Amino acid sequence: MNFFLDLFMSGLTKGSIYALIALGYTMVYGIIALINFAHGEIYMIGAFTALLASMVLGSLGLSGWGLLLSVAAIAAVYSAMYGWTVERVAYKPLRGSSRLAPLISAIGMSIFLQNYVQLAQSPNFLVFPDLVPQIDFLAPVARYISRTQLVILLFTVFSMVGLTVFIKFTKMGMAMRAVAQDQTMARLAGVNIDKVISATFVIGSILAALGGVLIGCSMRQISFYIGFIAGMKAFTAAVLGGIGSIPGAVVGALILGFAESFAAGYVSSSYKDVVAFIILIIILIFRPEGIMGQAQTQKV
């Protein structure tokens, strides 16, 4: 039973981090029907920014929750700037061209950012500091949930609630939904599409950066390559849940997290990715639009 609970918690936290990344894929796809392959790199840059910020702020004497929160905030802002710039440089000039052009440009951006971090930082794994403070009240249940896992869940839940409130109740959130549903009509209502697209990239990047901080805290090591693998997984999660659907991305990410965790525990850790992708294939055979995606109806 304890073993099951361990696997459950590790699947839940892994799924949470996938969800934070997957939201960026699904939101961008919902708005401009582009798979932003550089999104995993934004997550990786978030982790690196957190590492550098924690060294600087730590040497300035900051510690505990203050350190963790300010590191997360700096990573979020920095990644947001990267996300914004990537869209301006690599996607906006290609708007209105064929659908393949921005896709290629996204892959190029992804390779560029990976190599840039590899050269500017390190080609090796770097040790990530333990940023999560001791949580005393967790002592009695420490066997079931670690402080890092608790922090991952709290960050994720707050992000999801924040995102939902933003999308449902703010003017920009409403404009995002409108642009996702009918871009031409949104323009006719006076929406500046470019601003909405930029905002989408910024929000997706903030969430990915938080994912990067959390993965650093939980794995305790990062490299320039982590964005590629996590990006693939999160993209899979977004497709699984139905790309374009925000709740779908979360559901897909949790399914993927649990599948990996249980497969690693009960089958073999070398088979965890196999099981995850078998689930993807099975779901896509029976529901090609994903779990919560809407079936595309072709107009004749």
- Where do contacts with other proteins occur on this chain (CB under 8 A)? 171, 174-175, 177-178, 181-182, 184-192
Residue 32 or residue 264: which is nearer to other proteins going by CB? 32
Amino acid type, 249: A
Residue 89 or residue 185: which is nearer to other proteins going by CB? 185
* 121 in Cβ contact with 108 (< 8 Å): no
Find all residues with CB under 8 Å of 22, minimum gap 6, and list them.
234, 235, 237, 238, 241, 249, 250, 252, 253
Q: Is 222 helix (H, G, I), strand (E, B) or coil?
A: strand
Find all residues with CB under 8 Å of 146, minimum gap 6, and list them.
9, 138
Q: Report, in Å, the least distance between residue 189 CB and other proteins.
A: 5
Give dist(CA 120, CA 108) in Å, integer.
18
Q: Report, in Å, the least distance between residue 164 CB and other proteins.
A: 15
Give dist(CA 27, CA 179) in Å, integer.
11
Amino acid type, 173: G
Residue 112 or residue 166: which is nearer to other proteins going by CB? 166
DSSP 287: -
Find all residues with CB under 8 Å of 121, minimum gap 6, and list them.
48, 224
Residue 130 or residue 194: which is nearer to other proteins going by CB? 194
Q: Report, in Å, the least distance between residue 102 CB and other proteins.
A: 20
Q: Report, in Å, the least distance between residue 92 CB and other proteins.
A: 14
Residues paired with 222 in a beta bridge: 126
Residue 99 or residue 171: which is nearer to other proteins going by CB? 171
Q: Can you say whether residue 96 is alpha, beta or left, with left for phi > 0 and alpha for psi between -120 and 50 degrees?
A: left
Q: Report, in Å, the least distance between residue 7 CB and other proteins.
A: 37
Find all residues with CB under 8 Å of 240, minimum gap 6, and list them.
248, 251, 252, 255, 256, 279, 280, 283, 284, 290, 291
Residue 142 or residue 185: which is nearer to other proteins going by CB? 185
Q: Report, in Å, the least distance between residue 283 CB and other proteins.
A: 23
Residue 191 or residue 208: which is nearer to other proteins going by CB? 191
Q: Report, in Å, the least distance between residue 20 CB and other proteins.
A: 24
